[in-house]
């Protein structure tokens, strides 16, 4: 199964930014922006890239564009770090199609949330994973994101799925730390099963208490900050960890809470990247880039926090 | 805009079954079954067909298969009734793609629920409709289905969207009759805006109190029953209406509540169609056809209710 | 058990207003207002009174005040119609206490929603009813109000409880007409079990399709309108029913949607009653009466709709 | 205002067990059990007691019984530690009544969740706090418990309320660590505002990252374990903290997940206390003690974990 995965460690650890997808318009990639973004985050020392996730606006993109993103990213990364590709889809066949494209392009793994239209039960979800994973050509990371998919992967479902060949870990974006702790306990006999935190505000405590890494949206902006925080937590250097954690919280407060609606974090990141000169802030429907007034607020923050492309 | 829509009345009324999609396996159509199904419901006197909706399992099907369904259905219907095509998608571009396919194949209208991954606000939804509808090549029916899409089209959003050219009506599957009544009041000055009920248990009162029609899953099985109930309600023939309403409720109790989970209605309809010899009961992931035990229960009901292909 | 219930028909039918509780301040009854209100609704021909429900703000009142309400209402009604008393409480013992007070004061029945703090399961709810009802000194109407209590009485739970001695009916305020229809079917062999609709917007169709009555907040304002609509629906006089239904919808649109928050219907009714000169619009915490600006809007409506104390 | 509060530190810190209420039957206290329980937890070194909270089943108890609990606990504690009394109620007047009883009995503070029947908006909640707190005779801790009360105290509401005189802190039982972190940042200029964690699984990281204490249900059983974990986290002794955290997680897994339904944690604690010989496991409606089969499971765990009254 694992044609491209000698690059993927047996246990994935560290900071894996969920890359935004720079766009010129709803169906045209901002290719130069994508290039700059990739180099920016790799320069920060991240341990992998996750493309076509929620932060990557994957569900809003055409398949054609998603395929283009996969090819360009893999081509440019050139195996410097593992590339994980989101394949979540309401259609099993389309998930397979994307996963094959990912394998062909040289990606290392795929990431899969529950199919998010029909409200399936846990036994249906487990059966779904049982059917799907043997057909997938790359290792799979599960993705728990109940506020967007409506469906939760219950801890017992994850525990059962962890025995399927090819399932390598989970990214939990529920924000529910008790859920995450429960996963840790249920999976303590699976030392190769990677437990990744999807909310950067919880990165420090995740690592300190035995989690393996984090998928941090803010690492699009300040990759080095998250890598340093990860390292401080691994080293159990509490004073340094606390100081960096406060920087993460400050960025979260500043960038993710401008404007209304739950999509603020996404608009904030794209807007900040545009202020930093890295890529366009165009967003695919149903969203739109921030208007002048919110843009200004973000720009102020960027200056205030001293965020630059080269930091 | 309305190249194929001289067939579509200015105000769509009546019974429009949401066609199931007969499958041989997850990516192969049961083409003979689809043919039989279409002739079965047309023989029942329905006023239109709605393909690729929730009952049609559209989100679970590959795009290739969805396109095949559109072509085969339009070809066989041959303009005997209007064909409405579901184009709901998380990606604006893919919704456009399907809508063009629908126009090319000769369909009369498209049906659109909110993009269902990102939790958009009402102003974002309205903006989405404003952007999308001018590009759509066919008249649009909105589709309110909050339990599956997470997002509700608030009555005021519908009211505002009703003024956009090309928006012809709404199908409400919320089951919330107070919402439906509120729509009726807000849209009383839009005599050409079609108000369709998506829950067959509420068909009778919908028509009696001024609604225009209904998208009834059970009309896959017994199209004539729903047409007769619609006619009785239009004629305000209360005794006949009450008797037929009880038959509808009996079918709903019998067929939609076998097995666990919210998907029971879908599995029940496909299973019953298979018992009737019309088409296969294969279901696309994340679902599976009923097993032996539930199949037997449905078969009993079919016999008991006297449902046959020719009724 | 049924010391006061010879007044209560075997099957309760008709319009039962959920009386507001007129207040001078948070713990002082507006006794004169209460008197006027009672005479106003009785003059409208209603078939019973429901006190200390949601519209009566019961959960916000002290026990002392609730007891005072029970006594004053029973004393003034003097068995002209049955009085139903809300006894919903998170504490079983306090529910018992209120029910005894109700019996002693001469009330005819009690109304009980699930205990609404702890999230109990259906089997726990059924057990709760099994324990509680034998100790209650008056017939019980169940009360389904999931948006306030978090807990739904599932149809099967109601069906099972209907066999307990002393359970006489249900008031459903869920607004879910499919739920109500399901109750009708499950209870068709219980001809003495009263099915009451808690949402006045659905009164007409409830009666027309075999329901028995309705608990209508608007009947505090215009009791006769609701009684006439009930009668028209019973008589299957469709044109009259439709006309009166439109008046009910107009009142609902006008009075219940002023201001923000879900509590608007409650504030609207109290404000309208105050405009009509019937009673004070003071509200117990956590709510407050409408301010000047909303008050004016309601006053305009009252004038426009021609609502007066003597209508 | 603070007649009894010289015992209450300006900033409350440490482990405050939410005491269960030992019962003989639904309205009779197990007074000897309560005495043993109090001595058991005080012997463990806890920093305060919280009575009549969710774990104390307060909403299920009669007022008479709640008053008895307040008096007996205060009398026995004899100011060895501060006593916090839950006064949450849907009725403002009854909350006041309990708070006065608490002051008279010698308690040090009260704990208040939102009134939990009517769905109030944030501005209504803030107004509610503004009205209520000046009348309360003791310092107040707010209580965020959205899964039971339906209402969340939004961080901005807490921030605004923190300026009202007499509001001393918050207990957050949401389990949402991002919410807790946000509170910490919003209140960093309120050094006397106590931030208490209501979920013991998150105790360690709460303290380590600057929270002040925790209300831990498990401290009814093993008070010393939680006190030691609190101390280890304060001392930033990571190895000890990690080891004790694992013990807490083990207890949580073992005792709180027996049986179905959300109430399992409550039934588990009472059952374990009964196995330990401390008090009765009777529960007030709508709950019931564990039956034989679950009781045995808990008993096994107690033995396995080596939990005894004197540990």
Strand partners, B195: B170
The answer, yes or no, to whether residue A214 has pLDDT greater than 50, is: yes
The nearest CA of chain B is from the CA of A209 a distance in Å of 31
CB contact under 8 A, D285 and C114: no
CB contact under 8 A, C60 and D115: yes
Radius of gyration of chain D (CA): 18
According to the model, what pLDDT value does residue C104 have?
Answer: 98
Residue A239 and residue A246: Cα distance in Å, rounded? 11
Around Cβ A232, how many Cβ atoms within 10 Å? 21
Query: In A, which residues are within 8 Å of D176 by CB distance?
Result: 175-176
Cα A120 from Cα B259, distance rounded (Å): 13
Answer whether B touches D (≥3 Cβ pairs < 8 Å): no
DSSP single-letter state for residue C118? S
Q: Say whether pLDDT at B223 is over 70.
A: yes
Closest CA to B53 of B8, B89, B5: B89
Q: How far is D66 from chain C (nearest CA, A)?
A: 11
Q: How far is CA C301 from CA A9, A136, C304, in A?
A: 70, 64, 5
| Span between the terminal Cα atoms of chain C, in Å | 39
Contacts of D287 in chain C (CB under 8 A): 118, 120, 124
Of C61, C97, C128, the CB nearest to D285: C128
Nearest to B199, CA basis, from B176, B223, B173, B219: B173
Query: Which of chain D's residues have a Cβ under 8 Å away from the Cβ of A159?
Result: none
At residue A2, the pLDDT reads 46
Residues of B labelled catalytic:
143, 171
Quick one: closest CA in B to C233, which residue?
B238
% of residues, chain D, pLDDT over 90: 88
Query: pLDDT tens, B248-286?
Result: 999 998 899 887 777 889 999 999 999 999 999 999 999
CA count, 13 A, side-chain hemisphere, C98 = 34
Cβ-in-10-Å burial (0-12, 13-18, 19+) of B293 comes to exposed
Residue B121: closest CA among chain A residues belongs to which residue? A261
D62 closest CB neighbour out of C93, C149, C288: C93
Q: Between C63-77 and C31-43, two packed helices, what is the crossing angle to 10 degrees?
A: 40
Phi first, then psi: what are they for C164, rounded to 5°?
-70, 140
Contact across the interface for B177 and C205, Cβ inside 8 Å: yes
Domain extent for D138: 14-236
| pLDDT tens digit sequence for D78-104 | 999 999 999 999 999 999 999 999 999
Nearest CB to C202: which of B177, B185, B201?
A: B177
**Residue D2: pLDDT over 60:** no
Residue with tokens 């409200």: A119
Contacts C208 to B, Cβ<8 Å: 205, 208, 238
Contacts of residue D273, defined as CB under 8 A and 6 or more positions apart, other chains included, come to D20, D22, D33, D37, D220, D221, D279, D281
Average pLDDT over residues D175-180: 94
User: Hey, are the CB atoms on C93 and D26 less than 8 Å from each other?
Assistant: yes
Most D CBs within 10 A among C55, C68, C117, hence the mutation to make, goes to C117
Secondary structure (3-state) at D2: coil
Cβ partners under 8 Å of residue A306, min gap 6: none
Give the list of residues 6+ apart from residue D279 with CB closer than 8 angstroms, or none.
D20, D22, D30, D32, D33, D34, D36, D37, D270, D273
For an interface test with A, which of D147, D174, D180, D208 has the most A Cβ atoms less than 10 Å from its Cβ? D208
At B4 the pLDDT is 63
Q: Answer whether residue A282 is part of any domain.
A: no
- Calpha distance B288→C249 (Å, rounded): 44
| Average pLDDT rounded to a whole number, residues A159-178 | 95
Asked whether residue D236 carries a pLDDT value surpassing 80, the answer given is yes
Number of domains in chain D: 1
Residue C60 DSSP SS3: helix
Report how far residue D119's alpha carbon sits from residue C54's, in angstroms, rounded to the nearest whole number. Answer: 11
Size of interface A-D (CB pairs under 8 A): 47
Which of B178, B205, B209 shows the shortest C-beta gap to C175? B178
Most D CBs within 10 A among A174, A197, A200, A201, hence the mutation to make, goes to A201
Question: In the complex, which subunits touch D with 3 or more CB pairs below 8 angstroms?
Answer: A, C
Residue D93: list chain C partners with CB under 8 A.
26-27, 61-62, 64-65
Touching check for A209 and chain D: CB below 8 Å? yes
Asked if the Cβ–Cβ distance from B205 to C201 is below 8 Å, we say no
Mean pLDDT over all residues of chain A? Answer: 94
Q: In Å, how far from its chain's centre is CA B79?
A: 18
Region label for B304, one of left (φ > 0), alpha (ψ between -120 and 50) or beta (otherwise): alpha
DSSP per-residue string spanning B80-114: SS-EEEE---S-HHHHHHHHHHHHHHT--EEEEPP
pLDDT, tens digit (0-9, with 9 covering 90-100), for A285-308: 999 999 999 999 999 998 887 776
Question: By the CB < 8 Å criterion, does A272 face chain D?
Answer: no
Q: What is the mean pLDDT of residues A177-184?
A: 94
Neighbours of chain C (3+ CB pairs under 8 A): B, D
Catalytic annotation present for C303: no
- In the numeric block, which tokens belong to residue C138? 């008056």
Answer yes or no: is D6 within a domain.
no
**Chains sharing 3 or more CB pairs under 8 A with chain B:** A, C
> Distances from the Cα of A52 to the Cαs of A15, A44, A71, A76, B197, in angstroms?
16, 20, 12, 16, 37
Q: Which positions of D are catalytic?
A: 143, 171
Distance CA C41, CA C19 (A): 9
Q: Is A286 on the interface with B (CB under 8 A)?
A: yes
C128 is catalytic: no
**Cβ-based neighbour number of residue B84 at 10 Å:** 33
CB D203 within 8 A of CB D233: yes
Tell whether the model's pLDDT for residue D305 goes beyond 90: no
Contact between B148 and A26 using a beta-carbon 8 Å cutoff: no
- Assess if residue B283 is contained within a domain: no
Contacts of residue D287, defined as CB under 8 A and 6 or more positions apart, other chains included, come to: C118, C120, C124, D57, D60, D263, D266, D267
Q: How far apart are CA A308 and CA A273, in angstroms?
A: 9
Chain D touched by C287 (CB under 8 Å): yes
Task: Judge whether D5 lies within some domain.
Answer: no
pLDDT in the model for residue A1: 44
Q: Confidence band (pLDDT; 50, 70, 90) for D230? A: very high
**D178 at the A interface (CB within 8 A)?**
yes
Is C205 close to B242, i.e. CB distance below 8 A? no
Taking CA–CA distances from D177, the nearest residue in chain A reads A177
Residue of B nearest to C184 (CA): B249
Max CA pair span of chain C: 52
DSSP string, chain B: --TTGGGS-SS--EE--B----EEETTEE-HHHHHHHHHHHHHTT-S-EEESSTTTTGGGS-HHHHHHHHHHHHHHHTTSS-EEEE---S-HHHHHHHHHHHHHHT--EEEEPPP-SS---HHHHHHHHHHHGGG-SS-EEEEE-HHHHS----HHHHHHHTTSTTEEEEEE-S-BHHHHHHHHHHTTT-TT-EEEES-GGGHHHHHHTT--EE--GGGGT-HHHHHHHHHHHHTT-HHHHHHHHHHHHHHHHHHSSSSSSTTHHHHHHHHHHHHTTSS-----TT-----HHHHHHHHHHHHHHT--TT-
Cβ A30 vs Cβ A280: under 8 Å: yes
Sort B165 into a burial class: Cβ within 10 Å, 0-12 / 13-18 / 19+: exposed
Residues of D in contact with A177 (CB under 8 A): 175, 177, 201-202, 205
D41 pLDDT higher than 50 = yes
Using an 8 Å Cβ cutoff, are C55 and C37 in contact?
no
Q: Please check whether residue D299 lies inside any domain of the structure.
A: no
The verdict on B181 touching C (C-beta cutoff 8 Å) is: yes
Q: CB contact, 8 Å: A13 with chain D?
A: no
Measured over the CA atoms of residue A152, residue A155, residue A156 and residue A159, the dihedral's sign is positive
- The full 3-state SS of D8-42, as one line of letters, equals CCCCCCEECCECCCCEEECCEECHHHHHHHHHHHH
Judge whether A300 lies within some domain: no
Which DSSP string corresponds to D141-159?
EEEE-HHHHS----HHHHH
Chains B and A in direct contact, meaning 3 or more beta-carbon pairs closer than 8 angstroms:
yes
The pair phi, psi for residue B49, each rounded to 5°, is: -125, 140
Contact C253 B185 (CB under 8 A): yes
Q: Is the pLDDT of residue B309 over 70?
A: no
Q: Do C92 and D285 make contact, defined as CB atoms within 8 angstroms?
A: yes
The percent of residues above 70 in pLDDT, for chain B, comes to 97
Q: Is D156 on the interface with A (CB under 8 A)?
A: no
Q: Average pLDDT, stretch A219-239?
A: 97
pLDDT at B140 over 50: yes
Length in residues, chain D: 311
Q: To the nearest whole percent, how much of chain D has pLDDT over 70?
A: 97
Percentage with pLDDT > 90 across chain B: 88
Please answer whether residues B76 and B32 qualify as being in contact, where contact means their C-beta atoms are separated by less than 8 angstroms: no
Residue C131 resides in a domain: yes
Chain D contact for C263 (CB, 8 A cutoff): yes
Of B205, B236, B253, the CB nearest to C209: B205
Task: Find the mean pLDDT for residues B212-236.
Answer: 98
**Tens-place pLDDT, residues B80-108:** 999 999 999 999 999 999 999 999 999 99
Nearest chain D Cα to A201, which residue?
Answer: D178
Phi first, then psi: give them for residue D169, nearest 5 degrees: 170, -175
Q: Is B174 in the C-facing interface, judged by CB distances under 8 Å?
A: no
Determine what percent of chain C falls in helix, strand and coil, rounding each to the nearest 5: 50, 10, 40
Please tell me if residue A178 touches chain D, with a CB cutoff of 8 Å: yes
CB nearest to C287's CB, from D61, D93, D124: D124
Preceding amide of B286 cis, omega within 30: yes
Report H helices in chain A. Answer: 31-43, 63-77, 92-105, 122-132, 146-149, 155-161, 177-186, 203-208, 223-234, 238-255, 264-275, 292-305
Question: Could you give the angle at which helices B31-43 and B63-77 cross, rounded to 10 degrees?
Answer: 40
Q: Which residue in A62, A115, A117, A289 has the most chain B C-beta atoms within 10 A of its own C-beta, making it the best mutation to test that interface?
A: A117
pLDDT top residue among B301 and D234? D234
| Contact check, Cβ <8 Å, D287/C124 | yes
Q: Any CB–CB contact under 8 A between A116 and chain B?
A: yes
> What confidence score (pLDDT) does residue A305 get?
79
Mean pLDDT computed over A21-32: 97
Q: Which two tokens stand for residue D169?
A: 């802190």
Count of residues making up chain B: 311
Q: Looking at per-residue confidence, does B308 or B223 come out higher?
A: B223
Q: From CA A30, how far away is CA A23, in angstroms rounded? A: 5
The CATH number covering residue C126 comes to 3.20.20.70
What pLDDT does C309 receive? 61
- Are D185 and A238 within 8 A, CB to CB? no
Are D143 and D112 in contact, with CB atoms under 8 Å apart? yes
The span from the CA of C2 to the CA of C166, in Å, is 9
Q: Check residue A309 and give its pLDDT.
A: 61
Contact call for residues A265 and A297 (beta carbons, < 8 A): no
> Higher-confidence residue: D259 or A231?
A231
User: Is B252 inside any structural domain?
Assistant: no
What string of pLDDT tens digits covers the 311 residues of chain C?
A: 445 657 999 999 999 999 999 999 999 999 999 999 999 999 999 999 999 999 999 999 999 999 999 999 999 999 999 999 999 999 999 999 999 999 999 999 999 999 999 989 999 999 999 988 999 999 999 999 999 999 999 999 999 999 999 999 999 999 999 999 999 999 999 999 999 999 999 999 999 999 999 999 999 999 999 999 999 999 999 999 999 999 999 999 889 988 777 788 999 999 999 999 999 999 999 999 999 999 999 999 988 877 766 55
% of residues, chain A, pLDDT over 70: 97
Task: Using alpha carbons, select from D227, D270, D274 the residue that is nearest to residue D248.
Answer: D227
- Asked if residue D286 has a cis previous peptide bond (ω within 30° of 0), the answer is yes
Closest CA to B201 of B155, B149, B153, B257: B257
pLDDT for D1 equals 44
Q: How far is it, in rounded angstroms, from Cα A25 to Cα A284?
A: 7
Stated length of chain A = 311
Write down the mean pLDDT value for chain B: 94
């Amino acid at each position: 199964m694992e044609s491209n995965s000698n690059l993927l460690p047996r246990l994935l650890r560290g900071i894996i930014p969920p890359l935004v997808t720079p766009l010129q318009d709803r169906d045209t990639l901002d290719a130069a922006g994508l290039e700059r973004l990739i180099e920016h985050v790799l320069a920060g020392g991240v341990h992998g890239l996750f493309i076509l996730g929620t932060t990557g606006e994957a569900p809003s993109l055409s398949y054609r564009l998603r395929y283009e993103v996969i090819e360009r990213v893999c081509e440019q990364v050139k195996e410097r770090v593992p590339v994980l590709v989101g394949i979540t889809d309401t259609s099993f066949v389309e998930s397979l199609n994307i996963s094959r494209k990912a394998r062909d392009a040289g990606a290392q793994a795929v990431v899969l949330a529950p199919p998010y239209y029909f409200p399936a039960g846990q036994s249906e979800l487990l059966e779904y994973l049982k059917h799907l994973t043997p057909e997938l050509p790359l290792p799979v990371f599960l993705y728990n994101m109940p506020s967007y998919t409506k469906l939760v992967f219950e801890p017992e479902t994850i525990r059962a799925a962890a025995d399927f060949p090819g399932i390598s870990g989970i990214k939990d974006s529920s924000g529910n730390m008790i859920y995450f702790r429960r996963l840790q306990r249920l999976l303590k006999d699976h030392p190769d099963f990677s437990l990744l935190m999807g909310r950067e505000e919880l990165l420090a405590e995740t690592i300190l208490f035995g989690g393996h890494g984090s998928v941090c949206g803010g690492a699009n902006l300040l990759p080095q900050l998250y890598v340093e925080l990860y390292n401080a937590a691994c080293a159990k250097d509490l004073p340094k960890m606390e100081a960096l954690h406060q920087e993460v919280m400050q960025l979260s407060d500043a960038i993710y809470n401008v404007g209304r609606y739950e999509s603020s974090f996404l608009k904030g990141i794209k807007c900040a990247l545009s202020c930093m000169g890295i890529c366009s802030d165009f967003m695919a429907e149903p969203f739109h880039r921030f208007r002048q007034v919110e843009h200004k607020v973000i720009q102020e923050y960027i200056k205030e926090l001293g965020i630059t492309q080269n930091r």
